[in-house]
């Protein structure tokens, strides 16, 4: 079964592999020392980032003060995407079905560039913090914003977190033999510490460190793997002959696919039909890379549009690596441990890894524990934990942003920045608790059906959301009714298919496929195309049949209007004194206003300085309380009790300039052409 969040092959293993050859190898003292050094390094980077960032404002905490340069942005994009599920799932997919699943990675190369050059200028011009907030400004009203906010949190909590925790726990149990609750609780405590305290800045800088560790460690394992198998030619030949000795008679179980080394496969009978790869895969991928809060939030933290584009380029170049450092080692694992990793008899598989469907999920872990010497095993353990932590911190921070900005502010429209800072941090702790409580649910899915259901959620919910963002950004006539009814009709259609997939799971390779034709004969990538078409038709028809969007719902909110001048808006400021609170209405050029000239169009983009003075004044506070506030990035100002404090409402206008230096713009555009050329070459070569 494919993980439909990322498209990788999962066999739903819920137990550690049994101690077949070498699987009993555990970490020794030097490995533990490497792990301790890794944790200390991550914590040091996390606390270092707290010193140099403003964490006491909405922009400072949720968008790192819009101060990030291109390299931490790009590294964070890569680390947020490459979770422990990639190492387990992508390597397992390579062991089970060849290189086909790498299409998801290389499709992501194109989509992250699409984000930097097409979508991001619109988001920056609109001055938003979250993607649901963009929909609220673009279409007006609150129902579409709330719809997407709740849907995003649902996807984050019940698919992304569970996928990464499952994969990370599988590896931790194999290597350390730890209790799963102890292992996950330790990891979540460390990640929550710097996520709550440091905000997005700490997450991005630690992600950059995690990226370096992941790439170096995975490259080392790749080298050991190729050395063990005998090189590239031995891989090409050996994979096609990696057939387990015990198979179900008169079946294809355990036999490698004849198209294992091709990305584009038969459009009717293959596991990844090529029309679906080109179109059906791109639409959900567009949601993930161009409108998912986890990804877009990192780009919005860049100091300029040019740095955001540079981050997209770095992430795109890094996306080439998983083919070599994850997928190919997974295929090598099948060659080296054929009877275990590629087991084909359900009873044998059940003995090896506790799952009759297959044991390909163990491919990467087997390489780590079998091939690497002491010390390097600890490094690879750090790699897996880095992948898990980087993904979880990204999800925690982005889910906290959505909850605070899109849900809490909806019901507490006059909440102060101080209140929003508290809510954002507390919600991270809530996510940690939910993550721990979710472990028994994942463990209890022995048959894999609940886990298959969890993985299926994303693919059947992503296409309608992609269409809404696509039409909202690039078709000015799209209105709120069209977007809302597109979601209202598209999402239930996807949910129906999702439920049917859960009721009728895929049969084992030696069993007859008796599923209904709508499931058996309609590949999920083809269904993605169909669902996108249905949603698009609804959006277009309803939008044309109803009123045009208002001018304020288009200005600086679409590709064609991103250079429009900023219209002054009224803002409500809360003035807090010792005995009363009053509201002051001011226009865009009111308190602390300033202008920034946009060199692209000569228009001005008004924005206001962030203020950390949005907290009520206090006479005194103990050193302990002061230290606690500093740790959380919520420093209080010692003000006179009678001095009122002017608090800008959180809706303050943010930096929204599309200004780029001509020389830097030429550099990133040239790199765009080079990156696209590389992407099309490698896709065409392996197609």
CATH number where 98 lies: 1.20.1730.10
- Rounded to whole angstroms, the Cα distance separating 24 from 104 reads 33
pLDDT above 70 covers a percentage of the chain that reads: 75
654 versus 40: the higher-pLDDT residue is 40
Give the tens place of pLDDT for each residue, 165-201.
Answer: 767 766 776 666 776 677 777 777 777 776 776 677 7
Torsion angle in degrees (nearest 10) through CA of 599, 602, 608, 609: 30
- Rounded to whole angstroms, the Cα distance separating 261 from 584 reads 66
- Rounded to whole angstroms, the Cα distance separating 7 from 93 reads 9
Measured in residues, the chain has a length of: 687
507 with 399, same domain? yes
Beta bridge partners of 595: 606
342 with 253, same domain? yes
At residue 12, the pLDDT reads: 40
110 with 151, same domain? yes
Residue 679 clears pLDDT 50, i.e. is over it: yes
Q: Within a domain: residue 554? A: no
- Rounded to whole angstroms, the Cα distance separating 153 from 408 reads 13
Query: pTM of the full predicted structure?
Result: 0.81
At residue 442, the pLDDT reads: 60
Do residues 658 and 305 lie in contact, with contact meaning Cβ atoms separated by under 8 Å?
yes
470 with 580, same domain? no
Q: Within a domain: residue 506? A: yes
Query: How do strand 2-3 and strand 645-648 relate by DSSP bridges?
Result: unpaired
351 with 404, same domain? yes
Residue 96 clears pLDDT 80, i.e. is over it: yes
604 with 521, same domain? no
Q: What's the chain's average pLDDT?
A: 78
459 with 599, same domain? no
Tell me the two tokens of residue 473.
């950004």
The helix (H) or strand (E) run that includes residue 576 is strand 571-576
Residue 408 clears pLDDT 70, i.e. is over it: yes
Q: What SS3 state is found at 479?
A: coil
At residue 682, the pLDDT reads: 94
418 with 278, same domain? yes
Q: Which domain range does residue 6 map to? A: 2-542
498 with 605, same domain? no
Q: What is the mean pLDDT of residues 332-337?
A: 94
Q: What is the mean pLDDT of residues 56-63?
A: 63
190 versus 549: the higher-pLDDT residue is 549
Q: What SS3 state is found at 423?
A: helix
Residue 355 clears pLDDT 50, i.e. is over it: yes
Q: Within a domain: residue 670? A: no
Q: Looking at 31-45, 144-158, 224-238, 620-634, which range is the least confident one?
A: 620-634
At residue 599, the pLDDT reads: 41
Q: Within a domain: residue 407? A: yes
Q: Within a domain: residue 667? A: no
Q: Specify the number of domains making up the chain.
A: 2
Give the tens place of pLDDT for each residue, 598-627.
Answer: 444 434 444 434 433 333 434 445 666 655
Confidence of residue 684 (pLDDT cuts 50, 70, 90): very high
pLDDT above 90 covers a percentage of the chain that reads: 32
At residue 72, the pLDDT reads: 92
Q: Within a domain: residue 171? A: yes
495 with 576, same domain? no
Q: What is the mean pLDDT of residues 424-436?
A: 81
Q: What is the mean pLDDT of residues 532-554?
A: 95
536 with 585, same domain? no
Q: Within a domain: residue 660? A: no
Residue 371 clears pLDDT 50, i.e. is over it: yes
At residue 88, the pLDDT reads: 81
Residue 516 clears pLDDT 70, i.e. is over it: yes
70 with 218, same domain? yes
Confidence of residue 596 (pLDDT cuts 50, 70, 90): very low
Give the tens place of pLDDT for each residue, 134-156.
Answer: 999 999 888 999 999 998 888 88
Q: Within a domain: residue 561? A: no
Q: What is the mean pLDDT of residues 232-253?
A: 85
200 versus 54: the higher-pLDDT residue is 200
DSSP states along 587-615: -TTSTTEEEEE-TTTS-EEEEE---S--S
At residue 210, the pLDDT reads: 84
């Amino acid at each position: 079964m494919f993980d439909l969040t990322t498209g990788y092959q999962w066999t739903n293993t819920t137990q550690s592999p049994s101690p077949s050859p070498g699987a009993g190898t555990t970490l020794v003292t030097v490995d533990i020392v490497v792990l301790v050094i890794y944790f200390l390094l991550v914590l040091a980077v996390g606390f270092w980032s707290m010193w140099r960032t403003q964490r006491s404002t909405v922009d400072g905490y949720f968008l790192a003060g819009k101060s990030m340069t291109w390299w931490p942005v790009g590294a964070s994009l890569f680390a947020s995407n490459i979770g422990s599920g990639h190492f387990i799932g992508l390597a397992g997919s390579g062991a089970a079905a060849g290189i086909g699943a790498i299409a998801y990675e290389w499709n992501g190369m194109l989509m992250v560039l699409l984000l930097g050059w097409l979508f991001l200028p619109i988001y920056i011009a609109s001055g938003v913090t979250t993607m649901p907030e963009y929909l609220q400004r673009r279409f007006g009203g609150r129902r579409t914003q709330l719809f997407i906010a709740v849907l995003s949190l649902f996807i984050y909590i019940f698919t992304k977190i569970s996928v990464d925790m499952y994969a990370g726990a599988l590896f931790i149990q194999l290597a350390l033999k730890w209790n799963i609750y102890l292992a996950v609780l330790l990891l979540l405590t460390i990640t929550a510490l710097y996520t709550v305290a440091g905000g997005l800045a700490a997450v991005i800088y630690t992600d950059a460190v995690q990226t370096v560790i992941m790439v170096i460690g995975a490259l080392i394992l790749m080298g050991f793997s190729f050395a063990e198998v005998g090189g590239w030619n031995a891989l090409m030949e050996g994979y096609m002959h990696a057939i387990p000795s015990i198979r179900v008679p008169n079946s294809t179980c355990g036999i490698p696919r004849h198209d294992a080394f091709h990305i584009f496969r038969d459009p009717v009978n293959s596991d990844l039909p090529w029309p679906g790869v080109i179109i059906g895969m791109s639409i959900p991928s567009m949601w993930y890379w161009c409108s998912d809060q986890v990804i877009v939030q990192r780009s919005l933290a860049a100091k300029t549009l040019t740095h955001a584009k540079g981050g997209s380029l770095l992430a795109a170049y890094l996306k080439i690596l998983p083919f070599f450092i994850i997928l190919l080692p997974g295929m090598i694992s099948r060659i080296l441990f054929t009877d275990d990793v590629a087991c084909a008899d359900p009873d044998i598989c059940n003995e090896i890894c506790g799952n009759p469907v297959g044991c390909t999920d163990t491919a990467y872990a087997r390489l780590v524990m079998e091939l690497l010497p002491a010390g390097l095993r600890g490094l690879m353990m750090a790699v897996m934990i880095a992948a898990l932590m980087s993904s979880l911190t990204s999800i925690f921070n982005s889910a906290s942003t959505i909850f605070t900005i899109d849900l809490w502010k909806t019901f507490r429209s006059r909440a102060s920045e101080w209140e929003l800072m508290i809510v954002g941090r507390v919600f991270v702790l809530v996510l940690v608790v939910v993550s721990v409580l979710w472990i028994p649910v994942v463990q209890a899915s022995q048959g894999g059906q609940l886990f298959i259901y969890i993985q299926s959620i994303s693919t059947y919910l992503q296409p309608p959301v992609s269409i809404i963002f696509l039409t909202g950004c690039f078709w000015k006539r799209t209105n709120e009714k069209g977007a809302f009814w597109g979601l209202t009709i598209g999402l239930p259609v996807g949910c129906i298919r999702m439920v049917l997939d859960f009721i009728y799971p895929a049969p084992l390779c030696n069993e007859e496929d008796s599923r209904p034709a709508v499931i058996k004969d309609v590949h999920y990538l083809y269904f993605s195309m169909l669902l996108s078409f249905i949603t698009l038709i609804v959006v277009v028809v309803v939008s044309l049949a109803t009123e045009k969007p208002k001018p304020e719902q288009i200005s600086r909110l679409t590709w064609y209007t991103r250079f429009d001048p900023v219209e002054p808006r009224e803002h409500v400021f809360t003035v807090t004194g010792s005995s009363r609170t009053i509201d002051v209405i001011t226009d865009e050029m009111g308190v602390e206003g300033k202008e920034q000239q946009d060199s692209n169009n000569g228009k001005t983009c008004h924005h206001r300085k962030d203020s950390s003075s949005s907290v009520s004044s206090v006479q005194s506070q103990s050193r302990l309380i002061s230290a606690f506030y500093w740790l959380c990035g919520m420093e209080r100002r010692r003000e006179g009790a009678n001095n009122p404090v002017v608090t800008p409402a959180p809706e303050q206008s943010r930096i929204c300039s599309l200004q780029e230096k001509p020389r830097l713009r030429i550099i990133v555009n040239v790199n765009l052409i080079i990156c696209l050329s590389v992407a099309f070459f490698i896709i065409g070569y392996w197609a």
